[in-house]
Amino acid sequence: MKKNIFIGGLTILVACSTTLWYNAKQWNKKTEAALAIEKTKADSLAAMNRKLADNEKILSAKIDSDTKRINEQDVLIVQANTQLATKERDLRKIKRANDQNTKKFIEWEASKKQWEAKNQELTAANEKMIQQNNHLLAQVSSLTETNRQLNDRLIVANRLAKDNISVEAFAKNGKPHAKARKIKKINMAFTTYAELKSPTFKIYDQAGVPLPDSYGSFQFKLDQENSGNPAAMKLEMTYLLSKHIKKGLYRIDIANENKHVGSLFVRFR
């Protein structure tokens, strides 16, 4: 009985021990697996820590490099700011100088415009004076020429006034006549002391209009006069009419080398 109980107890004890051993073995397997996982995690974490340390060194070196570069850039920025401030001062000086030059230029422009306006006034006044002077010169020249012509006429007139001038009109039959429609020839003769190199003649009607060349032609003869004066010349002129003329007072102009010498008047009825 006791033996059976012992065996039974031993059996139970063996069974319990086996169960505990089996359970312990299973738990050890789980524990080893868990430890392996944790070890793997620990190794991975260690690798990550090493990589992180390496990255930290790299980042630190980069930070140091960037810090150094930033410091260098700060120095460059300070230098640039200093140069910029200097440039700004120079620019302000230049601007002040430009403002002064601009003011002077504006004043000079205003002065220039005033000078140009004054110059235009003086130029206009000078041109007006030149025109007036030219007009006066033209008047003086005209008066001088007129005076010279009058003097020439006066000299010739004085010389001609001393001589007897005869004017005769003749009819077609050669007899003297005073009726205009019957006159065919006009003779004129006078003594002159003027030197007549190339005398010309022109006859004008009662209205002062010159008779056309188709009305007649002039003929003249110039001879030395036997008066004892070698300067005395006798001029004989004949006007031959080819057309009838109207009654009235006619003027015969005498010129020498296109210069007026004198005039003769004859009236026909």
pLDDT value of residue 209? 93
Query: For 209-228, what is each residue's pLDDT tens digit?
Result: 999 999 999 998 888 777 66
Residue found by looking up tokens 């006044």 in the block: 125
> Which CATH code is given to the segment(s) 165-268?
2.60.40.10
Structure tokens that stand for 207 in this block: 């209205």
Does residue 173 or residue 225 have the better pLDDT? 225
Q: Given a cut of 80, is residue 249 above it in pLDDT?
A: yes
Nearest Cα to Cα of residue 207 among 175, 171, 269, 251 = 251
Query: Measured between alpha carbons, how far is 236 from 185 in angstroms, rounded to an integer?
Result: 13
Q: Which amino acid is at 161?
A: A
| Domain assignments of the chain as residue spans, ordered by start | 1-161, 165-268
For 62-71, how does the pLDDT look when each residue is reduced to its tens digit (9 = 90+)? 888 878 888 8
The percentage of residues in the chain with a pLDDT greater than 90, rounded to a whole number, is 5
What was the pLDDT predicted at 77?
A: 84
Q: What is the mean pLDDT of residues 59-88?
A: 83
pTM of the full structure: 0.38
43 alpha-carbon distance from chain centroid = 95
* 190, HSE (Cβ side, Cα atoms, 13 Å): 22
Over the chain, what is the mean pLDDT? 79
Question: How much of the chain, in percent, has pLDDT values that exceed 70?
Answer: 82
Q: With a cut of 60, say whether residue 82 has pLDDT above it.
A: yes
- 71-75, 122-126, 201-205: lowest mean pLDDT where? 71-75
Helix, strand, coil abundance in the chain, percent, nearest 5? 60, 25, 15
Q: Contact, 173 vs 182, CB < 8 A?
A: no
Contact 269, 180 (CB under 8 A): yes
Question: Residue 244 pLDDT more than 80?
Answer: yes
- The single-letter DSSP state of residue 231 is T
